[in-house]
Structure 1
């Protein structure tokens, strides 16, 4: 079955950016001349996805306004050089209870179809002819198994990531046996971390319904995937490219400067 839908969770409060994010969503922070969420939607659009659901929360109206068809669709189509720009829908997460809870809101949108999850504060640059999302879709299609993007994580950053325990089955591919959310380094099963791009199927909602609140008193997608991988194959793919996390002020500034150099501004 072809992957044609994307879910973009963008409902987090952005507390690490306070007070800036009291007035605008972190997903609308600029990277040179475009907001972060623009790059995320661009990744989905260039990957051939037809429909996008963006999950927003309190104070996120700027995201909805940015993609208002009457204002920006023509410009977006021109920027992306895509004739049939994906349909974009929005739904509001009532409480910020974690990534798994946000994805739960996509159940009606997804139906029985496989879907991509792209985090609203993470940008990918591919070093392959395929986008990072297309790379994941290819792995999913080849193996008929849910697939998540992974990368090697520096030891001092392991505590900030979901970390996989798995068997390496090829140069870039792992069969995942277990996942641990934000472990201390001494308890980490590896240094291979989850980066924020996933190809999932509708059975994930059943696993989300089974989990309890975890780290940070939130429903963690890692905990749902931990249950899933006990019942079926779950793959981790080390993508060709680079990931830019906009989760902290320091990372945002670093990304802004790097993209500025690439654009010829500095």
Structure 2
């Protein structure tokens, strides 16, 4: 399941498809991108970018749409804010992770919402001929204490295997119809060979209960597949369909993430993530626990 590490390029670019309308969170997302909604005191997009940085990724590519300028501004320098905080003796360290070197943030527009596959294809000119990561910010991936983030785990696996990788998690069988599902092959620790992929299958037709969980490392050839990709499930251009066509041409593996996933694209998952991360914070965990006890009687 491995190949010579010298035969593949390192992963230094990441694509973040952030052009969605966030309709499930209206009216909160009428003027604010859903990726800017905070989990405690950091927006969702910040968690994904921090995970990318931990994995050694250097260039962040945001596929945006109308009304998404706040995402880029979040990673810009805020002169007035920083000057005011400095004059008042405030710690500027809290802003450190939201600053970027010029050129490390690039945006492209997805002018028409045609699905995840189309959003990724919109970044083709920037990706070029290099392997790249994909982050779905709605999927908040939190590593177990003392462990590394999801993408770092995937990059470490990629250094062994090359080719294409996706992160997977196991879910109850009655939930598979909401996700992309893998047809698993040989298993080697946290690595599973991928024999096939299917997008949102009926429960009876699902090849497993291992779902794609919002993190990918793909070779640039996927862009050529997406170029001619026909619409799939939901009438959209599906990334899963394009990846399925690449199986067999290159190594294709799934990495079982050692950590927790929160579906922050749903209201329940968003609240769950907020509570879980707040409870684990040293500066507020005990206070949040006390509030929950009062509310629950």
Quick check: TM above 0.5?
A: yes
1:111 counterpart (112, 128, 131): 128
Tell whether the 8 Å contact from 2:139 to 2:261 is kept in structure 1 after alignment: yes
Higher gyration radius (CA): 2
Does structure 1 retain, via aligned residues, the 8 Å contact 2:130–2:219?
yes
Specify the alignment match of 1:206 in structure 2.
224
What runs of 5+ residues in structure 1 fail to find an aligned partner? none
The offset of 1:167, in angstroms, is: 0.6
Q: Is the 8 A contact 1:7 1:103 kept in 2?
A: yes
Contact 2:262 2:272 survives alignment (8 Å):
no
User: What are the residue-to-residue correspondences of 1:250-265 with 2, within 5 Å?
Assistant: 250-263=268-281, 264-265=284-285
Residue 80 (structure 2) pairs with residue 63 (structure 1): no
- Alpha-carbon shift at residue 229 of structure 1 (Å): 0.7
Q: 1:39 aligned to 40, 47, 51, which one?
A: 47
Q: Which secondary structure does the structure 2 equivalent of 1:135 belong to? A: helix
d(CA) in 2 for partners of 1:69 and 1:111?
28
Q: CA deviation at 1:79?
A: 4.1
Residue 122 of structure 1 corresponds to which residue in structure 2?
A: 139
1:163 Cα deviation from its structure 2 partner = 0.4
Residues 77 and 85 of structure 1 are in contact (CA less than 8 Å); yes or no, is this contact kept in structure 2? no
Select which of 107, 114, 118 maps to 1:97. 114
SS of corresponding position for 1:254: helix
Q: CA deviation at 1:218?
A: 0.9
Question: Hey, what's the Cα distance between the residues in 2 that align with 1:209 and 1:108?
Answer: 12
Contact 2:150 2:258 in 1 (8 A): yes
Question: Using the alignment, how far apart are the partners of 2:124 and 2:229 within structure 1?
Answer: 16
Please tell me whether the aligned partners of residues 16 and 248 of structure 1 are also in contact (alpha carbons under 8 angstroms).
yes
Q: Deviations over 1:66-109 (max 9, x none)?
A: 122345897577348x9979811111110111111011111111
Q: Is the 8 A contact 1:52 1:86 kept in 2?
A: no
- Specify the alignment match of 2:189 in structure 1: 171
Deviations 1:178-222 (A, max 9, x none): 111111111101000000100111101011123211111111100
Q: Say how many residue pairs are matched.
A: 265
Q: Which moved more, 1:196-205 or 1:14-23?
A: 14-23
Give SS of 1:58's match. coil
Separation in structure 2 between the aligned mates of residue 135 and residue 208 of structure 1, nearest angstrom: 26
Contact 1:245-1:251 within 8 A present in 2 as well: yes
SS in 1 for 2:215: strand
TM-score (norm 2): 0.83
**Helix, strand or coil: the match of 1:109?**
helix
Point out the more displaced range, 110-119 or 71-80: 71-80
CA distance in 2, matches of 1:129, 1:85: 30
Return 236-245 or 61-70, whichever deviates more.
61-70
Aligned-pair CA distance for 1:231: 2.6
